[in-house]
Chain A
């Protein structure tokens, strides 16, 4: 199949790639760029483990073709941390014990990141709605919801996100 040349910015770096028109974005991120923090739980857009941010919005990387991301600015879990300092959401997921197996965690954090960008002061209901696309089988959601609420006060939108 003929490859298509695209360009995208991922976690601040610009990538020029030749991809097949059928390549899924999740595979490009995980296989080609080695960004395995984005997880696949179903491949059908139901579990949210592959949630990333594109241009500030939560997107499911398993439902998007890589060619559709031509020109996009992508943020994955690997890009959230700046240097050695964890992002406030990452810190709060640890301090609130919101992580168990951790497989849904990157997607949850990226969904929360997009949520807080849009709604800097959400109440619990809004957080529960914001995480409703992200299945978790371990925590029962109580702690992740708490973690997002705990991050609200310290959350500052960063210019380069």
Chain B
């Protein structure tokens, strides 16, 4: 691998920094087009109902109203790109029916000359509903047979997997622990609300969509399918995006398809923007789960058996319900070497907003249960929680039984050791309990998360590198940057290989007319999968460039050349050199017999789906009078293979840490009779600057052999094991074991009362 030390491992400043600090960066909400219409959605007031009749005559007559689309015209997109694999499977993605399945489910959209007119038009629409009984409790949904939320029943998906012999595993155990855990319905809460797009259908039959999607190409596929268009007639452009965290994994329920349909009717651009309340009530959330777990271990701390039963609540529709459960299974089984493992998972529909992808996928839920179990076992056998993990984790060189592949890199031990040292684990763990009513404690937990999805889903990455005649380069990739900094990191990779200075590389925004096929941004994949595509495209361009330079330097073999800082030179004789600019000018313009641009391309799937690892040490103070839990510090050590840009990796660790604290202590949608009770930032509390503790990020580099310069993922994992570490710390501080997220003061006070 080429690594001149020029750009890899250095914290270059983000290429979009100036745009973002000056207000010049345009997000979807900032875009405006001539003759643009504004659309608004009429949403269902019922949790479960059939739309019998829609009377929109009065609305249509309102001056300024241009078009109306209803769920009877426009299909819903139950997006999961696994189903794009065959035309037959693809049909499962689209659902056109007259049923609404949660309060806020879109029924109809109006496009009008301005928002006020669109809103007024909605008030003139009369919808006749036939109300159906609603189910909110997943346990009830699983049992209920008369009330069917979808035609094929309420069980969306189920899976079972057994490794070894579970009964024999429990027989070997000296200690068996059995508990049931519950997790909350967390929201992405990106600061740009989810749900803005502009659809522009032109009379030539081409649809252009400006949408803050994580998956531009799959959105293109969904829109083509929903509207009956061919792919070359659908162009998805992603502008700057105000955070995503899984909430923009494709198209948004009721957004792009409705707008496209309205634009096709009117041949005018149509813009729709959801309010914050719409974002909270009617866009995807994390899957709340009920996890039963029975875990066995010997007195020596060998984990002998784990039996897991998951009930996942996917809400009114299913999108990622399969992947999320599969993720629980692969991360739960993958992290520790537990010989006998039985996993069963079920996803059920309920009449609440649909669930989807959210940072960590199913892993934070699974991790909360499994890391709590291991902590309980450690306590029962009197073992250090650090030691039991060191003893049981699956090491480098061992087989991952789900992927059926060998683990090529695993820096978990280093994460644990460094985190323990930095947090002063041993001392804090063994000190005398507080006599005061404020009790402090420290807890830890581990995690494994997959990088990309090469073994689970269609997961292509592509890149094109074009070298300009002055020796600068343009990189075209649809590796959607939602703020993590992918575009900057990919420019670093290209710069390193091409030998062209970082500041001389321009990176595109995703545009499906220009940027080649990319799965988009999910699964912590862009430094790794995107990095590999850019690496290979740059290698292709580099070789082509060096072939011309070989001739100009009067040498025989191109691979006798090196390139650095814009200069190509003979590796064995660096004095023999020529600037890239000179070579490029000559080949592209100067020599009229050549006139060829150097273009490098690559496209394909990553060779692996490497796991990345982390250990979080949480320090808490619990007020035993009020039940209030305060996180004092997180020490978060993550093995990312190689940090191509350490500042950005730290940004993920700290940002994910804070989101994880929210998952542990404050976040979750509250429902009453299908209504969301907290659809705003006052009642749904994400942490503020004055609430956040010190988070110490520790980067561990295990050098993943399949990765670009050794890199693997970080984005999702950084929040996965924060809640479990906090819960374990709360137990250490108080003796109260929380089995339900989020951990509320009421829960603590009740737990303390039960201890007495």
Contact = CB atoms under 8 A, between A and B. Distances in A.
B382 interface: no
A66 interface: no
B30 A49 contact: no
B interface SS class: loop
B180 interface: no
B192 A103 contact: yes
A116 interface: no
A153 interface: no
- Which of B191, B243, B681 has the most A CB atoms < 10 Å from its CB? B191
A149 interface: no
Nearest to B192: A103
B505 interface: no
Interface string B642-660: 0000011011001111110
B681 A135 contact: yes
A83 to B, nearest CB: 12
Interface in A5-35: 30-31, 35
Given A41-B193, A43-B275, A97-B651, A102 B22 contact: no
A41 B192 contact: yes
Interface in B142-183: none
A97 B689 CA distance: 16
B242 A101 contact: yes
Contacts, number: 171
Interface size classification for chain B: 35 or more
Interface string A72-100: 00001110110000100110011101011
B189 interface: yes
A138 B651 contact: yes
A101 B695 contact: no
A78 B22 CA distance: 6
Nearest to B189: A137
B190 A100 contact: no
Contacts of B193: 41-42
Contact of B18 (A40, A94, A100, A140): A94
A103 B648 CA distance: 17
B272 interface: no
Interface in B679-701: 680-682, 686-690, 692, 694-695
B276 A44 contact: yes
Contacts of A49: 191
B285 to A, nearest CB: 15
Contact of A44 (B655, B659, B681, B688): B681
B21 A90 contact: yes
A140 B651 CA distance: 8
Interface in B560-616: none
A135 B656 CA distance: 15
A105 B19 CA distance: 11
A136 interface: yes
Given A36-B30, A101-B482, A143 B651 contact: yes
Contact of B23 (A42, A76, A135): A76
A103 B190 contact: yes
B192 A142 contact: no
A150 to B, nearest CB: 14
A95 B11 CA distance: 10
Given A47-B191, A143-B654, A105 B275 contact: no
Interface string B189-204: 1111100000000000
B690 A86 contact: no
A38 B30 CA distance: 10
A145 interface: yes
A42 B681 CA distance: 8
A86 B23 CA distance: 12
Nearest to B634: A140
Nearest to A133: B688
B20 interface: yes
B323 interface: no
B25 interface: yes
B245 interface: yes
Contacts of B18: 86, 90, 94
Contact of A97 (B14, B27, B657): B14
B692 A102 contact: no
- Which of A41, A142, A144 has the most B CB atoms < 10 Å from its CB? A142
Contacts of B27: 39, 103
Given A42-B276, A100-B485, A142 B682 contact: no
Contacts of B682: 44, 46
A138 B483 contact: yes
A105 B657 contact: no
Contacts of B483: 100-103, 138
A128 to B, nearest CB: 5
Contacts of A86: 18, 21-22
B681 A46 contact: yes
B410 interface: no
B472 interface: no
Contacts of A95: 13
Nearest to A105: B20
A101 B192 contact: yes
B29 A81 contact: no
Given A49-B191, A101-B483, A103-B242, A141 B681 contact: no
B353 interface: no
A135 B191 CA distance: 7
B17 interface: yes
Nearest to A27: B115
Contact of A132 (B26, B242, B276, B689): B689
Interface string A35-76: 111111111101101000000000000000000000000001
A77 B17 CA distance: 14
B245 A137 contact: yes
Nearest to B681: A46
A50 B495 CA distance: 37
A31 B114 CA distance: 12
B21 A94 contact: yes
A103 B243 contact: yes
B242 A43 contact: no
A114 interface: no
Nearest to A97: B647
Contact of B692 (A80, A99, A142): A142
B24 interface: yes
A121 interface: no
Contacts of A42: 193, 276, 680-681
- Which of A36, A99, A139 has the most B CB atoms < 10 Å from its CB? A99
A26 to B, nearest CB: 11
Contacts of B16: 102
Contacts of A80: 22
Contacts of B681: 42, 44, 46-47, 135
- Enumerate the 9 nearest inter-chain pairs by beta-carbon distance, A residue then B residue, closest first: A37-B23, A101-B483, A103-B242, A102-B20, A140-B658, A77-B23, A46-B681, A36-B30, A94-B17
5 contacts: A39-B29, A93-B17, A101-B190, A141-B689, A143-B651
Given A101-B483, A103-B27, A145-B689, 10 more contacts: A30-B30, A86-B22, A94-B14, A100-B655, A109-B21, A131-B690, A132-B688, A135-B681, A137-B655, A140-B692
